[in-house]
Structure 1
Amino acid sequence: MNVTAERSRLPFARPNVLELAPLYEVLRREAPITAVTTPAGDPAWLVTRFDDVRDLLSDKRLGRSHPEPERASRITTAAVQEGPTGNYATEEADHTRMRRLLTPAFSARRMVMLSDHVRHLVDDCIDRLLAERSAAPDGVVDLHAGLAFPVPVAVICRLLGVPESDRDHFASLSERMADHSIGDAAPRARDEFNEYMITLAEAKRARPGEDVISDLVRAQSTDEAYDYDEMIRLCVGLLFAGHETTVNRIGLGTLFLLTHPEQWRALTADPAGRVNATVEEIMRLGAPGDLGLLRYAHTDVDVDGVTIRRGDAVILSINSANRDASVYRDAETFDPDRPERNHLGFGHGPHFCIGASLARTELRVVFAAMAERLPGLRLAKDVDDLEVRPTLTGGVRELPVTW
């Protein structure tokens, strides 16, 4: 793979946390599958068009494992999705087992049953924000610390069986593990996270509960093919993704709505009627990370006149695909009323996000409650002045608001 152009080194500079680099639009038009250099300095293919990204997400010729892991391209210096994962020989069987174990816990029916609990959590957070604003000299509060962070954390802790009192500890581990600016400290954080999860899993083995981690520990104890280390990695991944992604989508969704006041007013006028479409548009446009989903070719794959060789790294840009002008009218515009409802915000195919129903439930409850109880909400800092986290998942460190 020959990578020569300076512009093809990831990540591409973006104007702010809500906009993507203009280069993506050029690539979709002129080079939808292009050779790039990863942030770690290795070669990869970047895929930017909607149809190609969707098709490759469901193409079994690509996987998360690598036929020769020691020769695989590295993507970042973070310790999340930095390189191949899983066993090349058993990846498909391992994935099938994982989905079978987790599907009941993350079913749409169970998420509907969880919605009352989520609304209670959200109302408690809003009550505290109202009190904080009254006491704040400038009337400004941090919606990130007061709502966007605590709600998803409380929900995933209840579902997985993680003590909520540990939230600052595992949130710090998540932050460091996904940080691509701290070098060797990122893999050390991953090791600490694994050790934390081993302690928790063994406590569940001694006293199992009605929670997902207890279910996974029980399954691993009775299935010789289910590797212990694999189980621990899955538990870490669930806890990491179960709060990180939703925290960021709440923050980005709030920014989209408050920078489009006509859409915020429309939501406050009819929260119940508009919240579902609003959440789907947030999932389409909300782009918390600058890279994409990592896959490796398990055999040669021909796409759009390009041959991706066995073992090549492939980065599927969900963010770019969701802004493809050949699929979406006024693709860069935040418009919950758009007729196009399909997006790749939760992936596609066999690896479609198993937590999609959970995320939708949380986001719908959060934005409906905000519209009902904080209709005068507005930003207290310009979007360009917000600090973006230097992590694989991105997002903002704070979200100052008032009303």
Structure 2
Amino acid sequence: MTTAEPRTFPFSRPERLDPEPLFQELREQPLLRVRLPYGEPAWLASRYEDVKVVLGDPRFSRAASAGRDEPRMRPHQGSSGNILSMDPPEHSRLRRLVMKAFTQRRVEQLRPRVQEIADGFVDAMLAAGPPADLVADFALPLPITVICELLGVPYADRGDFRQWSDAFLSTTKFTPGEVAEAIGAMREYMAGLIAERRRDEHGRDDLLSALVAARDEQDRLSEDEMLSLAEAILVAGHETTASQIPNFVHVLLEHPDELARLRAEPDLVPRAVEELLRFVPLGNGAGIARYALEDVELGGVLVRAGEPVLPATASANRDAAVYRNPEQLDLARAEASHVGFGHGPHHCLGAPLARMELQVALDVLLRRLPGLRVTDEAAIEWKDGLSTRGPSAMPISWDAG
């Protein structure tokens, strides 16, 4: 590996939803050598095209991280049995087992139910009257309810797996011991649900039952793979949407002209969601490292075989080589697709579901809460010590009808 002295990354402490200020400068330069809080040094890819190569080119591997001190934001490393740590064909085998639940067609069939759930939470907010907490009263319970129904997990247990999810995504909020304890508790919980499915003679129409059948009847995945998949779906299936709903509302309130445009043209909601996914930096730092399997020239730099590269998707989504006026929020933007859900083999499996939930959430909030506003900007509580950004509490109000 090159001996160039790496720079500490992230370069600065994230401020709310502000983009990393150095990314714009870095996109004018070749790859940069960086060191995260934990793990070995890595290259940082910040340009759109370079990021897409790292995410999609088979010369870059996730499986090659096994046995390596992988560059990361948190002390603990992921399990090698996790789908995020696999390459095709092993990754493809697991992905196919759950893809049917997240196809565009299946997701559109779920839309009326998601609309019903969203309206139900808004009904409760209207009945109680303002103020409300957008996170606790809407943004968090909406995707949790949806993923619980889809996976077959009791909604009554949401408090437990919300805590486990925070620990799973912790960078500094929890100690390594607390993280290990939470992951162990989540695995034990999932194992208990799986045991219930195996005792159920009639079967159930949920994703967890389908995974058990794939394990027991078709022998298409191991017990550990089944547990890891169920845990990943439960965490990833609600966390992104729960974070992005208040993020999107906050950004729209900071751009009143675009908010007024969206209120006047509700048909823009799907395009607005895509633009907000591009514009809002959800994560802290960069994506999961990929390891070069051979020497690869990338961004004017020779990445040697065995060297890790970090894809900075938040930077790629602001690349002026791809987007006109990338620092400007434009809800009618029609340019290239963003990489907010990744790219290539590990493109987010639940992206269609997350998109639909975000579309429903924006529509119902803007349509049913006229004059939606933050009651006190200083009272917003922002996440700290987690790998995702956004409010953990966001007091809102609206015009009484």
Tell me whether the two structures share a fold, i.e. TM-score over 0.5: yes
Alignment partner, residue 16 of structure 1:
15
Amino acid at match of 1:35: R
Q: d(CA) in 2 for partners of 1:56 and 1:87?
A: 18
Q: d(CA) in 2 for partners of 1:89 and 1:49?
A: 24
Q: d(CA) in 1 for partners of 2:244 and 2:102?
A: 19
What are the Cα deviations for residues 203-254 of structure 1, in whole angstroms up to 9, with x where unaligned?
1222231111111111112344622111111111111100001111111111
Q: d(CA) in 2 for partners of 1:77 and 1:145?
A: 26
The secondary structure found in structure 2 opposite 1:121 is helix
Alignment partner, residue 76 of structure 1:
73
Deviates more, 1:261-270 or 1:228-237: 261-270
Alignment partner, residue 357 of structure 1:
352
2:92 counterpart (90, 96, 120): 96
2:379, 2:395 within 8 Å by CA — same for their partners in 1? no
Amino acid at match of 1:282: L
Alignment partner, residue 265 of structure 1:
260
Residues 141-290 of structure 1: pairs in structure 2 closer than 5 A: 141-181=132-172, 182-184=174-176, 185-207=178-200, 208-224=203-219, 226-271=221-266, 273-290=267-284
Amino acid at match of 2:146: V
Cα deviation, residue 2, structure 1: 3.4
1:280, 1:341 within 8 Å by CA — same for their partners in 2? no
2:374, 2:395 within 8 Å by CA — same for their partners in 1? yes
What are the Cα deviations for residues 315-354 of structure 1, in whole angstroms up to 9, with x where unaligned?
1111110011111111111111223151111111222211
Amino acid at match of 1:73: E
Task: Number of aligned residue pairs: give it.
Answer: 392
Alignment partner, residue 2 of structure 1:
3
Q: d(CA) in 2 for partners of 1:52 and 1:91?
A: 19
Structure 2: gaps spanning 5 or more residues: none
Alignment partner, residue 64 of structure 1:
62
1:61, 1:298 within 8 Å by CA — same for their partners in 2? yes
Q: d(CA) in 2 for partners of 1:89 and 1:41?
A: 16
Alignment partner, residue 397 of structure 1:
392
Amino acid at match of 1:65: A
Structure 1: gaps spanning 5 or more residues: none
1:46, 1:317 within 8 Å by CA — same for their partners in 2? yes
2:83, 2:229 within 8 Å by CA — same for their partners in 1? no
Deviates more, 1:168-177 or 1:16-25: 16-25
1:301, 1:307 within 8 Å by CA — same for their partners in 2? yes
1:370 counterpart (362, 365, 376): 365
Q: d(CA) in 2 for partners of 1:141 and 1:286?
A: 23
Deviates more, 1:275-284 or 1:86-95: 86-95
Identity of aligned residues (%): 37
Residues 324-363 of structure 1: pairs in structure 2 closer than 5 A: 324-363=319-358
Q: d(CA) in 2 for partners of 1:116 and 1:129?
A: 20
CA distance 1:166–1:78, change in 2 (3 Å): farther
CA distance 1:141–1:270, change in 2 (3 Å): same
Cα deviation, residue 72, structure 1: 2.9
RMSD: 2.3
1:25 aligns with 2:31: no
CA distance 1:100–1:155, change in 2 (3 Å): same
TM-score by length of 2: 0.91
The secondary structure found in structure 2 opposite 1:20 is coil
What are the Cα deviations for residues 122-168 of structure 1, in whole angstroms up to 9, with x where unaligned?
11111111233x3xxxx422101111000000000111111111111
1:323, 1:331 within 8 Å by CA — same for their partners in 2? yes
1:124 counterpart (120, 124, 134): 120
Cα deviation, residue 48, structure 1: 0.5
Q: d(CA) in 1 for partners of 2:259 and 2:165?
A: 31
Amino acid at match of 1:293: G
Cα deviation, residue 82, structure 1: 5.3
Q: d(CA) in 1 for partners of 2:333 and 2:308?
A: 34
2:139, 2:246 within 8 Å by CA — same for their partners in 1? yes
Amino acid at match of 1:161: G
Q: d(CA) in 1 for partners of 2:212 and 2:171?
A: 31
Q: d(CA) in 2 for partners of 1:164 and 1:361?
A: 20
Q: d(CA) in 2 for partners of 1:30 and 1:9?
A: 17
CA distance 1:63–1:86, change in 2 (3 Å): farther
